[in-house]
């Protein structure tokens, strides 16, 4: 097993890519804390049950990643429960799409609100930063650790996603800077940029649009969550020991030629 005796936190671990990552890390021997928002605790509990019935060990911890006090409390709970922290998969993320500016037929101007901007930047970018800050403390003491953050192929620019694209592009800059700052503590920091993936986040896209979007992807399909989780696993395992500050696009070639 590749993660024997390791302890991991996966944010947003109740659903989609996070859930697939929890199951994969646990199968490789890690004890995993699923950090998700309060309203997802029932789902998180089901993932804990799945891990346990496969012989693994997991707990669910309620935390809003955009809230410093909750993130710090979550990290303390995990270290108290499992005695250490080796891995952070910062996966929690949201979208709140709207065009930056748009005139309707009635002449009214509809545009992305400050609330939509702040919510997405708050969860995706600040939330990731807060989790990295909190997780870095035990990792620095141990002089070892692995962080795998989550950008998106949406950084290439996506209509209506100014907030999302900005937050995910920010993750790449954050990754590179944290990799520099944490290297002396033997903590590797990398990120992945998933392409369109079959999760609840994309479940509302109508089938005809999925078909149209798939046509534009060189591999001609959306990813399965497990295909994204495989790359998180690589980045938190010892196999990536000499990789830091990088962003791996896991997008079926979706950003090629753009």
Residues that bind ligand NAD (CB under 6 A): 11-12, 14-18, 36-37, 40, 64-66, 91-94, 123, 127, 150, 152, 194, 196-197, 199-202
164 is catalytic: yes
Residues 6, 87 contacting (CB under 8 angstroms): yes
User: Which residue, 150 or 237, is less far from ligand NAD as judged by CB?
Assistant: 150
Question: Which of 56/225 has CB closer to ligand NAD?
Answer: 225
Sign of the C-alpha dihedral, residues 84, 88, 92, 98? Answer: positive
CB of 242 to ligand NAD, least distance (A): 25
Enter the DSSP assignment of 14: T
Per-residue DSSP letters for 127-195?
HHHHHHHHHHHHHHHHT-EEEEEE--GGGG--TT-HHHHHHHHHHHHHHHHHHHHHGGGTEEEEEEEE-
Of 59 and 140, the one with the shorter C-beta distance to ligand NAD is: 59
* CA separation for the pair 235, 89 (Å, rounded): 9
Q: Nearest to residue 229, comparing CAs of 32, 37, 4?
A: 32
Q: How far is the CB of 91 from ligand NAD (least distance, A)?
A: 5
Both tokens of 248, joined, read 């791996």
Fill in the DSSP letter of residue 257.
T
Active-site residue (options: 82, 117, 129, 164)? 164
Distance (Å, rounded) from C-alpha 100 to C-alpha 143? 44
In eight-state DSSP terms, residue 121 is I
Distance CA 121, CA 195 (A): 19
Q: Are 198 and 223 a contacting pair, CB within 8 Å?
A: yes
Minimum distance from residue 121 beta carbon to ligand NAD (Å): 12
Cβ proximity to ligand NAD, 40 vs 237, nearer residue: 40
Nearest residue (CB) to ligand NAD, 134 versus 196: 196
In the complex, minimum distance from the CB of residue 74 to ligand NAD, in angstroms, rounded to a whole number: 9
Class of residue 214 by CB neighbours under 10 A (exposed 0-12, middle 13-18, buried 19+): middle
CB of 194: closest distance to ligand NAD in angstroms? 4
On whether the CB atoms of residues 47 and 60 are closer than 8 A, the answer is yes
Least spacing, CB of residue 7 vs ligand NAD, in Å: 19
> 186 vs 246, which CB is nearer to ligand NAD?
246
The set of catalytic residues is: 164
């Amino acid at each position: 097993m590749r993660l024997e005796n390791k302890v991991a936190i996966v944010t947003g671990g109740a659903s989609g890519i996070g859930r697939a990552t929890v199951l994969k890390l646990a199968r490789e021997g890690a004890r995993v804390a699923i950090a998700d928002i309060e309203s997802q605790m029932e789902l998180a509990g089901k993932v804990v049950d799945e891990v346990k019935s496969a012989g693994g060990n997991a707990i669910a911890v309620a935390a809003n990643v955009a809230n410093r006090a909750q993130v710090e409390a979550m990290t303390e709970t995990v270290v108290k429960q499992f005695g250490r922290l080796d891995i952070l998969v910062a996966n929690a993320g949201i979208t709140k799409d709207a065009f930056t500016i748009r005139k309707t037929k009635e002449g009214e101007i509809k545009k992305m609100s400050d609330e939509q901007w702040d919510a997405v930047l708050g969860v995706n970018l600040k939330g990731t930063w807060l989790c990295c800050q909190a997780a870095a403390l035990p990792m620095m003491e141990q002089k070892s650790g692995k962080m795998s953050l989550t950008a998106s192929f949406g950084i290439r620019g996506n209509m209506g996603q100014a907030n999302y694209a900005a937050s995910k592009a920010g993750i790449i800059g954050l990754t590179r800077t944290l990799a520099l700052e944490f290297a002396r503590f033997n903590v590797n920091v990398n990120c992945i940029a998933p392409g369109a993936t079959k999760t609840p986040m994309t479940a509302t896209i109508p089938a005809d649009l999925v078909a149209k979007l798939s046509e534009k992807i060189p591999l001609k399909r959306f990813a399965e969550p497990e295909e994204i989780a495989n790359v998180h696993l690589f980045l938190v395992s010892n196999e990536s020991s000499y990789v830091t500050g990088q962003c791996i696009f896991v997008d079926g070639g979706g950003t090629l030629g753009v």
